[in-house]
Structure 1
Amino acid sequence: MAKLEGKAALITGGAGGIGVATAETFLKEGASVSLVDLDQAALDEAQKSLQQYGKVITIKANVTDEEDVKRYVKETVDTLGSIDIFFNNAGIEGKVKPIVDQTLEDFNKVLNINVSGMFLGLKHVLPIMSKQESGSVINTSSVAGLMGTPGVAPYVTSKHAVIGLTKNAALEAASYNVRVNSIHPSPVNTRMMRSLEKGFNPEDAEQAKEDQEKQIPLGRYGESQDIANLVLFLASDDSSFISGSQYRIDGGMAAS
C-alpha cells in the first residue's frame, strides 16, 4: 500500500522547487494535495504538471495575511475533506548584506514571511488536526537555523525562530496525537540559491556556487527530491514516534 493512501496534504510555498517535488512525491504515494502560493502563474504550471499523478488543487494566498490563511485552510478542508499533513514550507531569502547595511524594512519582511507566516499556518491548521486527533506538520527551516551565515542575518534569524515554533507546537499538539518536526536543508538547487549566489558574488555567481559546494562534504547541493524524500518520511506513519525534532539534510555539513 502507498505510504499516504487516503491522506490530504497542504503545502505552502507549493509552487517552488521543493514544494512541487514534494507534491509529486505525496501524490505518487496516494495523497491528495493542496498547493498554496502567491504566484498564480507558477501554481497553474505546477497543477498542469502534477494532475497526472492524482488530485491536486491550487490556492493563491499570502501566508502573512490571516484572512488568506483562514481561507486556504477552509478551502483545503472543504475540497479534500481534511488536512492530515501540513508542509509549512513558504519562505524567502532576503537580501545579502552585512547587518549594518540591512534595513529594518527588509529584516521585517523576511521575518514576516518566514516566521509570522509559519505561525499563522500552525495557528489555523493545528485545530483541524487536533479535532481529528491525528496529523503531521513539517516546518521548513535551514542549516542557517542551526548556525550563522555572514550576510544573511534576517534569514538566519528567521530560520532559528522556526525551531522554537516547532518545539512549542510539538509540545502543545502531542496530547492530540499530532506531530510537529522541522527540516534543515543545506543549499538546495533551486531559485533561492540562484538569488543568494548572485548576492554573495555579484560578479561571478558560478564561483559563489562552487564556494558553497566546497562547504558540503558530499560536494554538491541538495536536490528538491532529496528534501521531498525526507518530508515524505516525516509525513508518513514511518515516523509515528518522532515529534519536536530537527532533521538536518545537509550533505554532511554537521560533521565538519
Structure 2
Amino acid sequence: MRSNNLKVMKCVVVDTCPKVIDTLKSYLNRIEHVKLVASFINPIDAVTFLNKNKIDLAFLDAKLFCSNWIEITKKIEHLPQFIFTADDAKFRLEAFKLNATDYLIKPMVFNDLLKGIFKVKNRDKQLSSSTVNIVSAGTKETKKDRGGLLIKTEYETIKLDISEIKYIQTVKCVTKIFINNYSAPIITTLELDKILVNLPDYFRQIHKSFIINTCLINKVLKRKVVIDDMHIPIGEIYADRVMTDLAY
C-alpha cells in the first residue's frame, strides 16, 4: 500500500516494444511512491505529453531519442530526469554526455531499475538541499544543471558540477577531485567508494586510487587512460571490466 506522506514520482515510458513497456510497468508498480502515468510507442506523442505535463522521470528508448535529444529538450517546458534504455551499450557514453541519470540494458532486471530510481531520488535531494556551488571554492560559477555533487571539504560544503569532474584521486587519507577549468583540485577526506555511489554510470573506478569521467578520455592505452595530460593507470583487478565497458 502506498503511503500518502511522501511525494509520488510520476514516470512515463517511451518504447517501440510493448513488452518492454509491460515489463517496466510491472517493475514500477512494485516500487513505493513511484507511478507510471503514461506510456507511448510513438515518440512524437510522448514529446507532446511531456510538454503539457510535469513529469519527474522519463524512460526513453535510446535509439529513438539519443541522437536528437538536445533538439527535443527545446520543445519541453518541464524537462524531467530521464533514463535511457537500450538493447546494448552502443549509446552509453552519448547518453551520459546528455546528462542521463542512468542507462539500462534490455532485457532489464528489477534490481537495475531500482538502482536507477535511487539515482533519480538522490539527484533531487542534492538539488533541493544545497544552494552552495563551486564559487565558494574560488572558481567560476558552475552550470545550473541536474549534475550537482555535494562535497565536504575542511572548511565548507560545496556543490560541484558532475559533468565537469575529470578524475578523482586518493592519496593516503586525502582525496583530490580534479575539475575542468579549475587549476587546483578540490580536497576532501571522503573515500572513493562514498563518492562513486553518488556519481552517474559514466564514471568508473579503474584503479584503487582513481575514478575517471569516461566521457573525457582522450586516449586509452594498454594499461592506462589519458585525460588531458594525465596518464592514469588501470589497476590489474579492474582491467577486464574497464576494457569491456569502454569497448576497447
TM range (shorter): 0.3 to 0.5
Which TM-score applies when normalising by structure 1?
0.39
Which TM-score applies when normalising by structure 2?
0.40
Structure with greater helix share of residues: 1
Greater gyration radius:
2
Structure with greater strand share of residues: 2
